Amino acid sequence: MGVLDKFSLKGRIALVTAGAGPLFGSSLSEGLAEAGAIVIVASRSLERNLRFAEGLVKKGYDAHGMQLDIADIDSIHRLHDQILEKFGRLDILVNSALARVGGSFETQTPMDWMESAKGDMVGLFTICKAFVPDMVRQQKGSLINISSIYGVVANDPTLYEGTTMLQSPTYNFVKAGMINLTRHIANYYGKKGVRANCISPGGYLENQPKPFLDNYRKRVPLGRLLDNEDIKGAVVFLASDASAYVTGINLMLDGGWTSL
């Protein structure tokens, strides 16, 4: 097998939670599909998932839309059973779903934290607990969690000067925890064929106010924000045999932000 062949995901079954989402999810799904995987996109809107999957099919890829509410334990178990019934296994699990509880330290309430915990903590744990044993039984699987630079470093308040953007403390909390949960799974299940890794993206270009964009570009070494294409190579690498000896890492996809 040549080195480029190791990046192929041909015939592998991949689930991307929030896989039709406008931010990382759609890019993650498309990247895996381009590498040959059979991609399942799942989130609360079945209609959107089916529409997105249909778009990938029209491009010549193998994609399927299913429903998932990451904050609903029963929904996670239904998705697990549906995938096993239809495909017989899951080879790649990409956890991209996020509760996205807004507000700042001043405005968030304990109930906001409880709402975040349903999906970002309990839901993440539940979906890993559902699929990791299946990967153990087949002696192979790749788990990829999508964290953030703000799971590694704190927010820089100067970036948001001149804007009304609020920085959610729940986001920092759950993204940092996700990184160590990933390491926990990697350490416990590596000898059973399961690899677990994180990707921590930096700022994603999504029509932010000009002051923020100017401040961000000035600070980050590569001088720009993340775009749709940037995350594809990272997820394909960690999902494929090209990273067969890689587990427990947090891959910083941040344009050099955390190197400063």
pLDDT tens by residue, 218-238: 999 999 999 989 999 999 999
pLDDT at residue 100, as a whole number: 83
pLDDT per position as a tens digit, 176-204: 999 999 999 999 999 999 999 999 999 99
pLDDT at residue 193, as a whole number: 98
pLDDT per position as a tens digit, 25-37: 999 999 999 999 9
- What mean pLDDT is predicted for residues 155-163? 94
- Contact criterion met (CB below 8 Å) for 33 and 63: yes
- Cα gap 139→130, rounded to integer Å: 15
- Contact criterion met (CB below 8 Å) for 76 and 123: yes
pLDDT(210) > 90 = yes
pLDDT(120) > 90 = yes
At residue 22 the predicted structure's pLDDT band, cuts being 50, 70 and 90, is: confident
Best CA proximity match to 258, nearest among 180, 200, 174, 183 = 200
pLDDT at residue 57, as a whole number: 98
- Rounded mean pLDDT of the chain? 96
- Cα gap 125→174, rounded to integer Å: 12
- Residue 132: what residue type? V
What is residue 220's DSSP assignment? Answer: S
Task: For the beta carbon of residue 33, count every other beta carbon within 10 angstroms.
Answer: 25
pLDDT above 90 covers what percent of the chain?
Answer: 95
pLDDT per position as a tens digit, 96-109: 999 889 999 999 99
pLDDT at residue 1, as a whole number: 78
- What mean pLDDT is predicted for residues 74-94? 98
Runs of H (alpha helix) within the chain: 24-34, 46-58, 73-87, 110-117, 124-138, 169-189, 210-219, 230-239
- Contact criterion met (CB below 8 Å) for 193 and 245: no
pLDDT at residue 143, as a whole number: 98
Best CA proximity match to 142, nearest among 100, 199, 208, 101 = 199
Determine the CATH number of domain 4-252.
Answer: 3.40.50.720
- What mean pLDDT is predicted for residues 139-161? 96
pLDDT at residue 102, as a whole number: 92
pLDDT(154) > 90 = yes
Phi-psi region of 25 (alpha: psi -120 to 50; beta: other; left: phi over 0): alpha
Sequence-distant (6+) residues with CB within 8 A of 205 are 213, 224, 225, 226, 227
- Cα gap 129→132, rounded to integer Å: 6
Domain ranges of the chain: 4-252
pLDDT(23) > 90 = no
